[in-house]
Structure 1
Amino acid sequence: MSYHLYRNTTIGVCLQDTLDELIDKQLITPELAHDILVQFDKSINTALSKVKIKYNFRGSLSTYRFCDNVWTCVLTDVEFRDSPDALKVSKVKIVACDAKGSNE
């Protein structure tokens, strides 16, 4: 099962907007646009699985939910630390999925 989580990121939304524009101008077919999005899902998941950077973070857990093997957590007043540097943000949403069986 390939997750579509990254389609809601800036790069994913821009890709979808561009594909919609190309479809509207009849430069590509909807089927080709679909195939491109499927390839995007596979590529982004593969690329992110190779990232080996570790960060420590601390914040207050605002809300959490577990549904269909997906954890969604919202933290507030979060500090990311990659010693000695720190980055503080007011709100972070973390979505975590079970990676087993996601190699379609």
Structure 2
Amino acid sequence: MANYQLYRNTTLGVTLQDTLEEMISQGALTDQAAGKVLSEFDRSINLALDKRINKKIQFSGKLSTYRFCDNVWTLVLKDFSVKDPNQSQHNTTAPTSQIPPADKVKIVACDGKSATQA
């Protein structure tokens, strides 16, 4: 499985990078060690999401643009909305945690089994 660096832009990834930079500036960590930590973060987050996330949702929107490069799809959708197909099977009196509709959404998708890291 290729270890993509997409998740470095999440809150967790940015916080980790900020902490590593601070440790490097204080002399507590080398650049090489920080690089190894980031590589392990990439590997671990990709593995965790691959193995632990199995929720299925339905989404819709108008396809604005798309691109396929280096085995990575990038889709830009307008008038985006998400629907949980299992919501009707569960207790309908319970509060729903719904993703609000959005004017524009960018989706980046890759096949970790056959893709290679650029």
Q: TM-score range by the shorter chain?
A: 0.7 to 0.9
Aligned-CA RMSD value? 1.6
More strand by share: 1
> Quick one: distance in 2 between partners of 1:42 and 1:12?
12
Q: Does 1:13 align with 2:14?
A: yes
TM-score of the two chains, using structure 2 as the length reference: 0.77
Q: Which runs of 5+ in 1 are unaligned?
A: none
Cα deviation 1:37-72 (Å, max 9, x = unaligned) = 011001101111120111111111111111111110
- Map of 1:32 onto structure 2: 33
Deviation for aligned residue 1:10:
2.1
Q: Which runs of 5+ in 2 are unaligned?
A: 89-95
Q: Is the 8 A contact 2:3 2:112 kept in 1?
A: no
Q: 1:66 aligns with which of 60, 65, 68?
A: 68
Percent sequence identity over matched residues?
A: 53
Structure 1 consecutive aligned stretches of length 4 or more whose deviation exceeds 4 Å:
none
> Quick one: distance in 2 between partners of 1:13 and 1:76?
27
Larger relative contact order (Cα-Cα within 8 Å, sequence gap ≥ 6): 2
Deviation for aligned residue 1:98:
2.2
Deviation for aligned residue 1:101:
4.9
- Map of 2:46 onto structure 1: 45
Q: 1:79 aligns with which of 78, 81, 99?
A: 81
TM-score of the two chains, using structure 1 as the length reference: 0.87
Aligned length: 102
